[in-house]
C-alpha cells in the first residue's frame, strides 16, 4: 500500500516537474494575464445584456418553442462556434423528453462532433496569410510549447465547465495531431454521462 502511494506521489511530482521545467505554468499564467481584459469585456457584455434581458430564460424558452431537431441543430451550432451556451440547459431539456438518455446521447455526440469540426476551423484560421505570418514570427516559441500540452488542453476542455469548442480551435491552430484530439476529446462523452446522472437524479 505504501509503495503504491509512493509511486502515485512520484508520478505527480514528475508531472509537476515536467510542467515546471517546460514552462507550462508560466505559459498559462502569461496567457491568462494577456486574455484577462478580453475576459472582463465578455463578462461585462453578458452582464449588461442579461440585466435587460434574461439570457437563461430566453434559452429555456427557445428549447420549448423549437422542435427537437431545431434544438439539436442549435446546440450543434453552439458547440461548434465557441460553445458559450451552457450545455446544462440542453441536458435539462433532454430530461423532459420521452427518452431522456437517447436525447442525452445525441447531445453528447453533437458536442463531440462540434468540437472536432471546430478543430478544423482552427486549422483553417492558420491558412489566413496574415495570421499565419503572425504565428510564425511572433508566436513561434508559444506554439512550440503549446504543442507539448495540447493533450492537456483538450482534456480540460472536454471535462471541465469550459467551452470545448475553444479548446479544439486552439488545438487546430497549434496543429495538434487530429488523432490525439479524437482520443482525448472522447472524454466529452463521459462528461455528458456524468451530468446526465446528476441532472436526471439517478444518483
pLDDT of amino acid 146: 64
DSSP 114-125: HHHHHHHHHHHH
Q: pLDDT by residue (tens digit) across 153-186? A: 788 888 887 788 888 888 888 788 899 999 999 9
Asked whether the beta carbons of 59 and 89 are under 8 A apart, the reply is: yes
Render the burial of 69-98: b for 16+ CB within 10 Å, e for the rest. Answer: eebbebbbebbbbebebebebbbebbeeee
Distance CA 146, CA 30 (A): 13
Task: Grade residue 87 by pLDDT with cuts at 50, 70 and 90.
Answer: confident
pLDDT of amino acid 203: 43
Asked whether the beta carbons of 107 and 145 are under 8 A apart, the reply is: no
Q: For residue 25, what are the CA distances in angstroms to 103, 130, 158, 203?
A: 39, 29, 20, 36
> If you average pLDDT over residues 46-71, what whole number do you get?
71
Amino acid at each position: 500500500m505504501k509503495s503504491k502511494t509512493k509511486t502515485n506521489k512520484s508520478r505527480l511530482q514528475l508531472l509537476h516537474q515536467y510542467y515546471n521545467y517546460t514552462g507550462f505554468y508560466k505559459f498559462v499564467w502569461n496567457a491568462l494575464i494577456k486574455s484577462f481584459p478580453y475576459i472582463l469585456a465578455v463578462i461585462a457584455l453578458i452582464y449588461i445584456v442579461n440585466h435587460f434581458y434574461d439570457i437563461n430564460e430566453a434559452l429555456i424558452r427557445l428549447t420549448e418553442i423549437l422542435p427537437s431537431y431545431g434544438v439539436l441543430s442549435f446546440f450543434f451550432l453552439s458547440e461548434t462556434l465557441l460553445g458559450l451556451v451552457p450545455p446544462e440547459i440542453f441536458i435539462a431539456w433532454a430530461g423532459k423528453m420521452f427518452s431522456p438518455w437517447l436525447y442525452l446521447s445525441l447531445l453528447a455526440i453533437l458536442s463531440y462532433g462540434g468540437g472536432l469540426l471546430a478543430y478544423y476551423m482552427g486549422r483553417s484560421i492558420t491558412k489566413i496569410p496574415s495570421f499565419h505570418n503572425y504565428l510564425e514570427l511572433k508566436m513561434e516559441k508559444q506554439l512550440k510549447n503549446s504543442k507539448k500540452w495540447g493533450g492537456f488542453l483538450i482534456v480540460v476542455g472536454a471535462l471541465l465547465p469550459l467551452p470545448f469548442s475553444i479548446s479544439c480551435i486552439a488545438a487546430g491552430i497549434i496543429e495538434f495531431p487530429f488523432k490525439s484530439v479524437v482520443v482525448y476529446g472522447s472524454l466529452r462523452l463521459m462528461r455528458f454521462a456524468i451530468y446526465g446522472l446528476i441532472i436526471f437524479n439517478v444518483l
